[in-house]
Homo-oligomer: A and B are copies of this chain.
Amino acid sequence: MSGKNYVHGYTEREAERLRDQAETLTELLHGDTRYPAGSRVLEAGCGTGAQTVILARNSPEARITSIDISEASLVEARKRVLAEGLTNVTFEAGNIFDLPYEPGSFDHIFLCFVLEHLAEPRRALKRLRPLLREGGTITVIEGDHGSAYFYPDSPCARRAIGCLVDLQREMGGNALIGRELYPLVTGAGYRDVSVSPRMVYADASRPDLVHGFTRLTFTAMVEGVGDDAVGRGMMSREEWELGVADLYRTAGPDGVFCYTFFKATGRK
Contact = CB atoms under 8 A, between A and B. Distances in A.
Contacts of A197: 199, 201, 258
A190 to B, nearest CB: 12
Contacts of A187: 254
Nearest to A150: B179
Contacts of A180: 151, 256
Contacts of A149: 144, 146-147, 176, 179
Contacts of A182: 151, 203-205, 254, 256
A195 interface: yes
A61 interface: no
A153 interface: yes
Nearest to A196: B201
Interface in A38-84: none
B151 A183 contact: yes
A237 B149 CA distance: 29
Nearest to A176: B153
A217 interface: no
A179 B152 CA distance: 9
A137 interface: no
The interface centre, meaning the residue of A147, A153, A258 with most chain B CB atoms within 10 A of its CB, is A258
Interface string A75-101: 000000000000000000000000000
A187 B151 CA distance: 14
B147 A254 contact: no
A19 B256 CA distance: 31
Interface in A162-208: 176, 179-180, 182-183, 186-187, 193-197, 199, 201, 203-205
A260 interface: yes
Nearest to A195: B203
Contacts of A256: 179-180, 182-183, 195
Nearest to A257: B179
B205 A147 contact: no
Interface of A: 144, 146-147, 149-151, 153, 176, 179-180, 182-183, 186-187, 193-197, 199, 201, 203-205, 254-256, 258, 260
29 contacts: A144-B149, A147-B149, A147-B258, A149-B176, A149-B179, A151-B182, A151-B183, A153-B176, A179-B256, A179-B258, A180-B256, A182-B203, A182-B204, A182-B205, A182-B256, A183-B203, A183-B254, A183-B255, A193-B205, A194-B205, A195-B201, A195-B203, A195-B256, A196-B201, A197-B199, A197-B201, A197-B258, A199-B199, A199-B260
